[in-house]
Structures are given as C-alpha cells and as structure tokens.
Structure 1
C-alpha cells in the first residue's frame, strides 16, 4: 500500500505547520520539513520542539536561505528529500507540499489513487515548444547565467543579463537533456527519487548548469524525471489543485469552498487562507476519515472563470488601436443574429438560406469548428478571430463577393456587437429570445465546461440560478443599449408578429418572412 513522505517547504506560521504535520502523519504517512533559513530561528525551534516525539517527522539536514526564482529552492527541496529517503525507508511516494496546502481527499482515497497506477505525477512540458510560460523571459532563463535575485536586485539582474547578451556569453544546454518545464508540486515514486539523487551526485555538469538557471524549481525535477523515467510512466499533471487570477496571483480558498475543493480531481489544494479555520478543520477531519465517497466533477477552474467574469461586462475586449480607423465598408450590411440557444439560431439561418441569397455563417466567434474558408490563417483559431475581427469580416465579405452577410453571435459577446454596431457599415441586429428550462441550463453548463456528469446537486442548486440570471442580464444589456436597427423575435409570440421583425431585419417582403417564421419547430429543443 502506498505510503507518502511529504516534502514540506515552508517559511512562516509555525502553529499551522505543526498542525499540518500532525494531521498528515496521523494517517500513517511521513513528513520531511524544510523551514526557510531566512525565517525566525525561534519559530523553527518551536516546530522542532512540538514535533520531536513524532517519529514520522524529520527535518532537512541543512536549512537554506531561500529566494524566489533561485537555485536555493531546489537545494532546499533536495535537502528535505535526502532526509526523507534516509529516515523513512517504507515511504513509497514523495510529494511536494507547501505550508498553505491541505489535503482535499481522505488518506484512504490518496493511497488507493497512488496504488492504482505505478507512475510519477509531474507537469513536464517541452520548455521551448510549449506555451507554459505566458509572460516574461523564456530562453534567457537557460542560456545566460543568473547570479542575483531579480526581485531583490532588479537593476543589477537585468544589467548583468544585458551585458551577457552584448558580449555574446550564451552557454550551452547539456546536450543529452531535453529541458522540460512545469509546476513544482509533484508526486514521485521512491525509485524515481533515488535515481534523481544518484544523478545529482554523478552529473556535476548538470548541477552547475541549473545552479545558474533562473526559476529552476520549474525545470530541474521536470527535466530529470523526463530524462530518467520512461515516458509511459509519467503523468504530466500535478496532484495539487491551484488556480491563478487574471493578474497571475494564486487564488486563495476560504470556508465556503469546501464542496468545490472536494469535487476536484486532485489530492491537495493550494492556497488555503490562514483565516479559513473552519475549512482547515473540515479538511483535517476528512484526511483521517474512512469510507468517504468522492464525486469528482473537476469544474473548479471553469466555475472560477465564469463567476469572477461577472461584472466585467464591457471591459474584456478593448478597441485595438490598429482597428479604430478600419471599417467593413460603408456600403456593406452586416446582419447579426443574437441567440443563446445556438441550435435555434442555426436552424433559423438554414431557413433564411433556403429563402434568400444572403450568405450565412454560424457562430464563428464562439465555435472553433465553424466552417470557414481558408483566409490565410486569420480564421484558424478563436483568439485570432477575436483579435482581428474586423479584418476577418472584410475578408469574408470579399470571399463571398457580397455586400450583405449574416452571422450568429452569442449574447454574451456584447463588446463584439458594440464594435460592429460602431462601424461605418450598416449593422442590423436580430435578437432571438428563447425560453430556458433547467434541462437546457444544465446542458449549457456542461457544454461550456462549468459542470460535469458528477457535479453535485448542491452545486447545481447554486449554479443554475446564477446561469439563468446571467442570461437574463445579457438580454437586458442588449436591449438597454438601444442599438439602431435592433429587432427581436420571441418564442411564444405569433408568427405574424415575429415576421414583421424578421422582414425588417432581412429587408425582405412580409410574406417571405412569414414563411420562415411559420415553421412550427423553429424554437424546439
């Protein structure tokens, strides 16, 4: 049966560390602690005194003064790992945790999870080919030598980097290594850990290389595991659930996140608020519990993005400076069908296509696989389409050799709608107002990744009213904007009433519009 030796890197809050060690070791697991050499010696002695009689706890054989982005973090980890390997010969797995991590599953579940498959869990993506690094330096982390901490000596840090660039002092990456990158929160088997320790003693060239690498805790273990372990035995993921805000800051969890955390496909979560005492107590009791069944739905990140995105309407897509003077063309008409039920809008477009000669395109700004002609790559992905929305539409007008074009847009894309309405061309809008029962809302939430098959009833009870109100809000925003050339057809209105709005939208005769609106299954689910 799996037995975990937790590798705890911490630097503050000794009481929380003591509690964490006692909770995790009470279930039969082990812990090796590295307490930052920069932190208070009194705090460190307090931790050692409180845990001195706990045989399942050991300490790194040497404390290191750690700095963010420095080799010191890796060295501190290695020191704690070496102590754990020596002190706990029965440990089968070694898992990195921090002082603000907590288990979100029971020990029983964690042990069964690790027993189910003989593999290592560590994010491991190609450093150069992947897009794991979103901002900041990339290649420069590796090919230049870094002696200072960027946060403490910013001017000197970048001054030395610039000097190395000018002098051409690039260094070679060890030839036999494929540099990988990923999260530092890994869980590795004992055999893998022993291989890594042997490697560090044998390959001094690699150790010298990583000592002068910037942020090596994101590359060192990730690279060595990929070098030493067969690919089939590596799962490129972390077992620690963590999220980041739009500003790149870790999301903190509080007392009311208990149910959300338990439903994620992870064993631990980071970061738990120091003030979330109720959450800590509940999670602590959970780790020691027996026979707990977990329904894993794994919708945490999508739920967070959805809920935090509310209230930001109107600020997600600012006008790009290169598009402020562009236009679709003064003589052109862009006809936009706005509908939350995409299948209804697509059905309407199919009927319009049968009765008119106006080219139609479905949800090109919402669905990646919307059929589009090859326009030189600008149509290749949703982000590209959104970045170059007016240029894309001009090219589509040209491709179809038309001055009139119909597209579908989700009502949540209010900024896109405003941008097109503000163009010098003529923009006509048709809102298709539907009725939404709970079954549709459930299906909608699952389609966009807000929920899954195992989402709990409690989560649905909180989520469905939010989604319903969000849809109502989107419709209110569109109507309150008082757009020129705005029209609306409604589920429940008579076909004659809807035909008036459709005829005005399409600039077609009333009888032709009635043929389209008279189809009795237009609004059917």
Structure 2
C-alpha cells in the first residue's frame, strides 16, 4: 500500500516532523507544507537528513480558521500525486503522534473504511459558519492573536474583499446537506479524487467555503457527504483546557481512551519520554 502523509508545519521547529518522518520511514512518504510566515530552514535540514521527507513546492500563509489551510492541503496532495499513485493520503499536523505500531497502522489503513470524523451538521452555529461571510486569511482580518500594528492592509486583502463582495451579491451556493467533523483524516484514493474533482469543477461551492469560517471542519466533509463507513483518524481532546488539550506526559497518553484512533493531537514535543514512546512504536 502506497501512503502519503501531508503534514502542516507551523511550529518553527522540525522536531515533531522529523520524529513522524522516522516513524513512517521506508513505508510512507512524508510531505511537509511549511507556513509561509515561518522560516523553512529547520525543515530543509530535516529533509536533507530524511529520505522520505518532501517539502511542499507551493507555500501559503496559514491562519486560524482560514481557507489557506485547504489550499495548502490541496496543492500538496496534487504535488504528491504527480510523484506517485498513492492508495491513501493523510492530513495531519507536526504536533501529532501515532498511538499504534507500524504494523497495526498499516492494518488499519487496509480496512475498507474512511478514516475521517464526519457527521451531519445540524447545529445552527456550525451552519452559520457557512452562511455568513468571513475572510480570515490575513493578519489584518484574522481574529486570533494578532498584534494591532501587524494588522496592515495590503492589495491581497483588498482583492479578496472585492471577491467577497461579489459573492455576497451572487449569494452562497445552496447546500441541502451540510456535514462537519475533525480537520485531520486519512482517505482512500477514491475519496481524494472525488474531492479534488469537486474542488476544481465547482467554483461556486469552493468560493462559498473560502469565505466561510473554519472551512477545514466542513468543506471536504460536505463534498464527500454520507460515507458508508468512517472512523476517527486523529484523537483530539476538547474536554479540557487549553482546548485542544496538549498532552504533556507519557502517563496521560498511556491512560488515554482514543476510541480506536491510530493517532493523537496535540502533544508536547519536548518531552523525552514521548519521543521514546514514538520510536518504540516504529519498531512494532
């Protein structure tokens, strides 16, 4: 089975990415998209020392809740598919770790299921994310942790807002069934191809999600629709603060009920015991 891992790199240190690349060494290719706002140097060094690491050829600035996360995912997937005919493609972040050994991971990927958390979205707050008009893909307009003097307007923001205005006049695409779920997944080639075809063929839906809020939790899920069988790929704990909860010790991880998910997000990458745990799984 040919597997590609698409990883968002944003922590400005390649420690987690290199650890994951070691776990996937010799049996999965590891593609890293580095946030265009971050220094690529640590990741270039990791690529030079890991045969299975590929750096994304096209980089986007990544903003919380913005559409650039999807752009980065799509362009890096397409880069991967130009290189090899992959059977499955995963989408994760560099602060994710496996919870199972390599043999068990491969067994999971051979099952006839789609590894994505997805469900019919009927919550009005989630539906409002799509119906409203939002633009989070800039320092000037993103609601998260941006110092006031960094919120400078550029021609990029002005051009995007003109397109947003045109979409407001046209109206968003009418979607009868909205689906939502977790951002991180591992999908079969058939579902990847279905999504990519829709992404390029249906400009109205794509642009409607581009100017929505947190589209990575709804866009691909809605395009794929109801799946015959799906399971959560990456376990994330939203029940404790800070949300999502950051696992700081191997004891926390060992006592975790991940409900069958083969990967976990988020973890403290500077804990030696966690690194040892991941390296032990690579030998299983």
TM > 0.5: yes
Question: 1:126/1:264 Cα in 2 relative to 1: closer, same or farther (>3 Å)?
Answer: closer
Aligned to 2:144: 151
Question: 1:57/1:4 Cα in 2 relative to 1: closer, same or farther (>3 Å)?
Answer: same
Contact 1:27 1:288 in 2 (8 A): no
SS state at 2:7 partner: strand
Instruction: Please list, as runs of the form range in 1=range in 2, the aligned pairs for 1:421-500 lying within 5 A after superposition.
Output: none
Aligned to 2:4: 5
Pick the aligned partner of 1:243 from 237, 250, 253: 237
Output one character per residue of 1:23-44: Cα deviation in whole Å (capped at 9) or x when no partner: 133241111111111112xxx1
Residue 57 in structure 1 maps to residue 85 in structure 2:
no
- What is the Cα deviation at residue 258 of structure 1? 4.3
SS state at 1:9 partner: strand
Q: How many residues align?
A: 260
- What is the Cα deviation at residue 177 of structure 1? 5.4
Contact 1:26 1:288 in 2 (8 A): no
- What is the Cα deviation at residue 269 of structure 1? 0.7
- What is the Cα deviation at residue 251 of structure 1? 1.8
Residue 195 in structure 1 maps to residue 194 in structure 2:
yes
Instruction: Return the alpha-carbon distance in structure 1 between the equivalents of residues 227 and 24 of structure 2.
Output: 31
Contact 2:120 2:179 in 1 (8 A): yes
Instruction: Return the alpha-carbon distance in structure 2 between the equivalents of residues 55 and 177 of structure 1.
Output: 45
Aligned to 1:260: 255
Name stretches of at least 5 consecutive residues in structure 1 with no aligned partner: 157-168, 290-525
Residue 274 in structure 1 maps to residue 273 in structure 2:
no
TM-score, reference length from structure 2: 0.81
Contact 1:9 1:33 in 2 (8 A): yes
Contact 1:144 1:171 in 2 (8 A): no
Pick the aligned partner of 2:116 from 122, 126, 140: 122
- What is the Cα deviation at residue 221 of structure 1? 1.1
Output one character per residue of 1:114-165: Cα deviation in whole Å (capped at 9) or x when no partner: 2132x312222222x2x4x8xxx44432222212322368999xxxxxxxxx
Question: 1:139/1:239 Cα in 2 relative to 1: closer, same or farther (>3 Å)?
Answer: closer
Question: 1:222/1:248 Cα in 2 relative to 1: closer, same or farther (>3 Å)?
Answer: farther
Residue 19 in structure 1 maps to residue 18 in structure 2:
yes
Instruction: Return the alpha-carbon distance in structure 2 between the equivalents of residues 37 and 224 of structure 1.
Output: 27
- What is the Cα deviation at residue 110 of structure 1? 0.9
Aligned to 1:142: 130
SS state at 1:26 partner: coil
Aligned to 2:75: 79
Contact 1:60 1:82 in 2 (8 A): no
- What is the Cα deviation at residue 94 of structure 1? 1.1
Question: 1:172/1:151 Cα in 2 relative to 1: closer, same or farther (>3 Å)?
Answer: same
Contact 1:58 1:87 in 2 (8 A): no
Output one character per residue of 1:377-411: Cα deviation in whole Å (capped at 9) or x when no partner: xxxxxxxxxxxxxxxxxxxxxxxxxxxxxxxxxxx
Instruction: Return the alpha-carbon distance in structure 2 between the equivalents of residues 113 and 262 of structure 1.
Output: 17
Aligned to 1:95: 90
Aligned to 1:46: 42
TM-score, reference length from structure 1: 0.46
Question: 1:264/1:288 Cα in 2 relative to 1: closer, same or farther (>3 Å)?
Answer: farther
Instruction: Return the alpha-carbon distance in structure 2 between the equivalents of residues 109 and 189 of structure 1.
Output: 17
RMSD after superposition:
2.7
Aligned to 1:178: 177
Instruction: Return the alpha-carbon distance in structure 1 between the equivalents of residues 2 and 257 of structure 2.
Output: 21
Instruction: Return the alpha-carbon distance in structure 1 between the equivalents of residues 29 and 224 of structure 2.
Output: 22
SS state at 1:278 partner: helix
Instruction: Please list, as runs of the form range in 1=range in 2, the aligned pairs for 1:484-523 lying within 5 A after superposition.
Output: none
Aligned to 2:209: 210
SS state at 1:33 partner: strand
- What is the Cα deviation at residue 107 of structure 1? 1.2
Question: 1:178/1:264 Cα in 2 relative to 1: closer, same or farther (>3 Å)?
Answer: closer
- What is the Cα deviation at residue 222 of structure 1? 0.9
SS state at 2:5 partner: strand
- What is the Cα deviation at residue 246 of structure 1? 4.4
Question: 1:214/1:221 Cα in 2 relative to 1: closer, same or farther (>3 Å)?
Answer: same
SS state at 1:52 partner: helix
SS state at 2:245 partner: coil
Output one character per residue of 1:291-341: Cα deviation in whole Å (capped at 9) or x when no partner: xxxxxxxxxxxxxxxxxxxxxxxxxxxxxxxxxxxxxxxxxxxxxxxxxxx
Name stretches of at least 5 consecutive residues in structure 2 with no aligned partner: 136-140, 152-167
Question: 1:177/1:194 Cα in 2 relative to 1: closer, same or farther (>3 Å)?
Answer: farther
Instruction: Return the alpha-carbon distance in structure 2 between the equivalents of residues 123 and 171 of structure 1.
Output: 32
Instruction: Return the alpha-carbon distance in structure 2 between the equivalents of residues 218 and 262 of structure 1.
Output: 23
- What is the Cα deviation at residue 264 of structure 1? 4.7
SS state at 2:268 partner: coil
Aligned to 2:158: none
Instruction: Return the alpha-carbon distance in structure 1 between the equivalents of residues 180 and 67 of structure 2.
Output: 15
Aligned to 2:154: none
